[in-house]
Amino acid sequence: MLGLVVEQPRHGYDLERTIAERGIRQWAEVAFSSIYYVLGKLEVRGLVRSAQRDGKKTRRVYSVTEEGRSAAAHAAASMLCNAAPSFSPFVVGLANAGLVDLARFHALLRDRARVLSERVADIEATRDAQGQLPLAARLVFSYTLATLTAERDWLTAIDSGGAA
């Protein structure tokens, strides 16, 4: 949320629109109901400030403070270099694949590959519907598509009898 406000001052509904347009919910859990809650927390911490827009009390525009810009840059740098393992329920399923009948296992892999293909198509459509995106948004689309495509291709290879 802070990163989107760093891009430009925004009000909550603008954040919601941007989150939806960029497909951010494909890779992050952001409920519409939490947007103003998070903005309030960021404001209390001094990372953003708000002002009424055109004198309307209902439309508060949030802009980043210098402290907020610094905190966002520090957090981004930390996340980019952090190679901590991510824990996926799918990996837990793979670790216990021996408990599933082999025919069912392959059917499940095909189903997952099909769902991933649908997600790739949805994300590509979302990306293609955008105008010129900031570099960060283009990178997120690119990374997300690359990882989903790689997993789908891996699933297809495994299902086809490819070695793991």
pLDDT at 39: 95
Residue type, 82: N
Residue with tokens 């989903």: 148
Instruction: Please give the model's pTM, rounded to 2 decimal places.
Output: 0.73
Tell me the pLDDT band of 162, cut-offs 50, 70 and 90. low
pLDDT at 8: 93
Residue 152, SS3 per DSSP: helix
Q: pLDDT digits over 47-86, tens only?
A: 999 998 665 566 789 999 999 999 999 999 998 888 888 7
On the question of pLDDT at 164 being above 60, the answer is no
Alpha-carbon distance 5 to 97, whole Å? Answer: 43
DSSP 76-125: HHHHHH--PPP--HHHHHHHTGGGS-HHHHHHHHHHHHHHHHHHHHHHHH
Span 32-40, average pLDDT = 92
List the CATH code of the domain at 1-84.
1.10.10.10
133 closest CA partner among 12, 1, 24:
24
pLDDT at 23: 81
Q: pLDDT digits over 97-150, tens only?
A: 999 999 999 999 999 999 999 999 999 998 998 888 888 889 999 999 999 999
Q: pLDDT digits over 37-46, tens only?
A: 999 999 999 9
pLDDT at 53: 67
